[in-house]
Amino acid sequence: MTDTKTVDLDWNNLGFAYMDLPYRYRAYWKDGEWHKAGLVEDSSITINEGSPIIHYGQGCFEGMKAYRCKDGSVNLFRPDQNAARMQRSCQRLLMPEVPTEMFVDALKQVVRANQAYIPPYGTGGTLYLRPYMIGVGENIGVHPATEYIFSVFAMPVGNYFKGGLTPTNFLAADYDRAAHKGTGQSKVGGNYAASLLPGDIAHKRGFSDCIYLDPIEHKKIEEVGSANFFGITRDGKFVTPKSPSILPSVTKYSLLYLAEHNLGMETEETDIYIDQLDHLAEAGACGTAAVISPIGGFQVGDKFHVFYSETEVGPVTKKLYDELTGIQFGDRPAPEGWIVKVPLD
């Protein structure tokens, strides 16, 4: 039994808010190598005013969670997948890569150092981890930085969408978050800056968030705010859109695997047209922060389409949720290599 001493927080009512925890990981890249890698206590960073991250958005990030298990141990979920995705984001923005081993070691160090802030098993809370890299240094021209900072910080979180497994409603966006061959498949800040206005419009109209359509024709579903979309067809198939402007969600690819191997379903990455939604019996958003959030209704122009129900989660969505979270919290057997234990004190 691991000692699970924790600080005093309202674990059952955590939102998704920044918290200044005692430790974060930092590493500095200069002259072709990472330097001074390790834990620090200072939550602020000082950078030169000419830094490319400030003017040209040369930066990327990741989002993942540490899960407290029943026996007190702590799980990371597929951290190698996040390491690989960050490497791809870095390639797209001409930034140096963080090797997978260094990335996973950084996560473990941050979780271990802040372990008193990992929400207890059974509260539904997790320790959210935010790795990021920024291009810094004196550099006002439009070219890549010569220096970079890689950092990982953490904060305890609850559900991202307020409802949890209660369905919420979404609005089709009039704007795109990314271009067809732009940076949609990279986890970069620019996509998020572009999403603030359509997100705000959706919130002001009483929706949970907006749903982005394909940037070429605006006829197909792409993303649900900052989560991926999945549907369950009336004949029981798990479907999810395929497009180069979608961020490849680790959660989505995990659900594709679990739907096929653990639930015996057919699966397909395919086009999901907004004028053919009737063939979907259920729909949901998936991502590390969103976990699985059922989509109740979807407003497209003046049409309001309800998938399964505006108040109840559908049976297949619920099964997928139980399977995924069961694996993440260590209650169900995980496919080979999905769970990485964090060594604690």
Ligand X SMILES: *Cc1c(COP(=O)(O)O)cnc(C)c1O
Binding site for ligand X (CB under 6 A): 63, 187, 223, 226-228, 247, 249-252, 287-288
- Cβ-based nearer residue to ligand X, 28 or 61: 61
Residue 9's nearest CA partner among 164, 121, 156, 127 is: 156
Name the minimum Å distance from CB 66 to ligand X.
14
Name the minimum Å distance from CB 122 to ligand X.
23
Is the alpha carbon torsion for 35, 39, 45, 46 positive or negative? Answer: negative
CA distance 325 to 262: 14
- Cβ-based nearer residue to ligand X, 173 or 227: 227
The catalytic position among 36, 162, 181, 187 is: 187
5 is catalytic: no
- Cβ-based nearer residue to ligand X, 243 or 249: 249
Residue 86's nearest CA partner among 67, 62, 104, 102 is: 62
Name the minimum Å distance from CB 139 to ligand X.
26
- Cβ-based nearer residue to ligand X, 228 or 299: 228
Q: Summarize the chain as % helix, strand, coil (round to 5).
A: 25, 30, 45
Name the minimum Å distance from CB 288 to ligand X.
3
CA distance 296 to 313: 8
Name the minimum Å distance from CB 252 to ligand X.
6
CA distance 68 to 76: 9
- Cβ-based nearer residue to ligand X, 179 or 344: 179
CA distance 165 to 171: 19
- Cβ-based nearer residue to ligand X, 233 or 249: 249
Name the minimum Å distance from CB 255 to ligand X.
9
Report which residue type is found at 8: D
- Give all strands (DSSP E) within 159-277, no chain letters: 168-172, 209-213, 221-224, 227-233, 238-241, 267-270
- From the CB of residue 8, how many other CB atoms can be counted at a distance below 10 Å? 6
Helices (H), 123-188: none
The residues near 141 (Cβ < 8 Å, ≥ 6 apart) are: none
Which residues have a catalytic role annotated?
187
